Amino acid sequence: MKHPKGHNSMPPETNQQEQPEAVEKREEEFLPGKVSVTGKEITFLVLIIIFVSLLVVLILARDKTTIITVGDRAPEFQLPALGGSPVSLSDYRGKVVMVHFWATWCPPCVEELPVLESLYQTLKSEGLEILAISIDKGEGSIVSTFMKRYGLTFPVLLDPEASVSSSYGTFKLPETYIVDRQGVVAYKAIGSREWTVPVNVNIVRNIIDKR
């Protein structure tokens, strides 16, 4: 049988051998580890690692900080009074005590303390006690001068190392904790308050009346 003219009876060669250069190039494309990392990318990765490490440290440190709030038992403390004798919170057990953290260099504190004095004069006969804890540095001469200038009569305790304020988790002055007769925080105020307005007087009076 004759084949038509011009028809090649042999099938075309479909698997031609690739050139060595092409094979080598293709192998390089799929070789693992052939990644080019610039100095900027390495620096960026190092910065990310440092940032994450610092964030973890801050979170752990925050978890270790106790922030006292309503319903918690008020931490016990003993501090020197402005006159020199030590005073403990437990000395007032069975009474309603307003534990107030402040400093002479704190403008909101300076504005609030005379208001606290008015509240104290109004409710001390009903059973309110105030322990104003100053975190001013030094031996207390600045605090003493301040108290005389504003005519403040409630007891002032000195916490120059802020150890007691730290045990309460105080982070913004002034801060006030009203401790009930069982030694539990019944009310907490962050920042200054107008303690002589009726609504606030009633808050304190209700805690005093609760037996």
**Residue whose tokens read 């698997």:** 15
How far apart are the two ends of the chain, measured CA to CA in Å? 122
CB of 76 closer than 8 Å to CB of 88: yes
CA 147 to chain centre: 30
Task: Report, as residue numbers or ranges, the catalytic residues.
Answer: 109
Give all strands (DSSP E) within 35-149, no chain letters. Answer: 78-80, 86-88, 96-102, 128-134
What is the helix (H) or strand (E) element at residue 190, kind and residue range? strand 185-190
**Alpha carbon of 173 to those of 25, 89, 110: distances in Å?**
70, 20, 11
Give all strands (DSSP E) within 43-148, no chain letters. Answer: 78-80, 86-88, 96-102, 128-134
- Which 8-state DSSP code applies to residue 53? H
